[in-house]
Amino acid sequence: MLRREFLKVRNSLPADDVRAAAGALAERALGLPELARARTVAAYVSVGAEPGTLALLDALRARSVRVLLPVLLPDNDLDWGTYTGEGSLARVERGGRMALFEPAGERLGPDAVTAADVVLLPGLAVDERGMRLGRGGGSYDRVLARLERARSRPALLVLLYDSEVVAHVPEEPHDRPVDAVVTPSGVRRFR
138 is in an annotated binding site: yes
Contact 169, 131 (CB under 8 A): yes
39 is in an annotated binding site: no
Say how far apart CA 119 and CA 137 lie, in whole Å.
18
133 is in an annotated binding site: yes
130 is in an annotated binding site: no
Say how far apart CA 125 and CA 135 lie, in whole Å.
10
153 is in an annotated binding site: no
Distances (CA, A) of 52 to 20, 81, 92: 9, 19, 18
5 is in an annotated binding site: no
134 is in an annotated binding site: yes
94 is in an annotated binding site: no
86 is in an annotated binding site: no
Say how far apart CA 86 and CA 90 lie, in whole Å.
9
Binding-site annotation: residue ranges for ATP: 132-140
Binding-site annotation: residue ranges: 45, 50, 132-140
Binding-site annotation: residue ranges for substrate: 45, 50
